[in-house]
Amino acid sequence: MNLAVELAGLRLKNPVLTASGTFGYGVEFAPYGDLTELGGIVVKGLSWEPRAGNPMPRIAETPCGMLNAIGLQNIGARRFVEEKLPLLPWAEVPVIANLYACDVEDFARLAEYLAGQEGVAALEVNISCPNVQAGGVLFGQDPAQAARVTRAVKDRAGTKPVIVKLSPNVTDITAVAKAAGDGGADILALINTLSGMAVDVRTRKPRLANVIGGLSGPAIKPVGLRCVHQVSRAVNLPIIGLGGIASAEDLLEYILVGAWAVQIGTANFLRPDTAFRIAADLPQLLDELGVTSWEEFRGALA
Residue list 204-233, contact with other proteins (CB under 8 A): 217-218
Residue list 41-60, contact with other proteins (CB under 8 A): 44, 50-53, 56-60
By beta-carbon proximity to other proteins, the closer residue of 71 and 161 is: 71
In the complex, what is the shortest distance from the CB of residue 220 to other proteins, in angstroms, rounded to a whole number?
12
By beta-carbon proximity to other proteins, the closer residue of 20 and 169 is: 20
Q: Is 119 in the site for other proteins (CB under 8 A)?
A: no
Q: What sign for the dihedral angle of Cα 282, 285, 291, 292?
A: positive
Beta bridge partners of 194: 215
Give the span between the Cα atoms of 149 and 10, in whole angstroms: 21
By beta-carbon proximity to other proteins, the closer residue of 186 and 253 is: 253
Given a contact cutoff of 8 angstroms between Cβ atoms, the answer to whether 39 and 122 are in contact is no
In the complex, what is the shortest distance from the CB of residue 113 to other proteins, in angstroms, rounded to a whole number?
20
Closest of 156, 155, 148, 74 to residue 114, by C-alpha? 156
In the complex, what is the shortest distance from the CB of residue 70 to other proteins, in angstroms, rounded to a whole number?
5
Site map (CB under 8 A) of other proteins, residues 166-185, x = contact: --------------------
Site for other proteins (CB under 8 A): which residue of 32, 155, 175, 182? 32
Q: Is 29 in the site for other proteins (CB under 8 A)?
A: yes
C-alpha distance from residue 122 to each of 41, 183, 221, 278, 282 (Å):
10, 16, 25, 23, 24
Give the span between the Cα atoms of 77 and 221, in whole angstroms: 31
In the complex, what is the shortest distance from the CB of residue 105 to other proteins, in angstroms, rounded to a whole number?
25
Closest of 68, 72, 32, 75 to residue 50, by C-alpha? 75
By beta-carbon proximity to other proteins, the closer residue of 161 and 206 is: 206
Q: Which stretch binds other proteins (CB under 8 A): 17-25, 104-112, 152-160, 177-185?
A: 17-25
By beta-carbon proximity to other proteins, the closer residue of 242 and 286 is: 242
In the complex, what is the shortest distance from the CB of residue 65 to other proteins, in angstroms, rounded to a whole number?
7
Any catalytic annotation for residue 64? no
Q: Which of 64, 102, 129, 227 is catalytic?
A: 129
- Total H helices, total E strands in the chain: 10, 16
Q: Is 198 in the site for other proteins (CB under 8 A)?
A: no
Given a contact cutoff of 8 angstroms between Cβ atoms, the answer to whether 153 and 108 are in contact is yes
Site map (CB under 8 A) of other proteins, residues 246-285, x = contact: x-------------------x-xxxxxx------------
- Other Cβ atoms within 10 Å of 273 Cβ, number: 13
Residue list 61-100, contact with other proteins (CB under 8 A): 61-66, 68, 70, 73, 75
Strands (E), the chain: 5-7, 10-12, 16-18, 41-42, 59-62, 65-68, 95-99, 122-126, 162-165, 187-190, 194-197, 199-200, 205-206, 212-216, 239-242, 261-264
By beta-carbon proximity to other proteins, the closer residue of 82 and 287 is: 82
Give the span between the Cα atoms of 145 and 175, in whole angstroms: 12
Give the span between the Cα atoms of 236 and 238, in whole angstroms: 7
Could you give the residue numbers annotated as active site? 129
Interface with other proteins (CB under 8 A):
22-24, 28-29, 31-32, 44, 50-53, 56-66, 68, 70, 73, 75, 217-218, 246, 266, 268-273
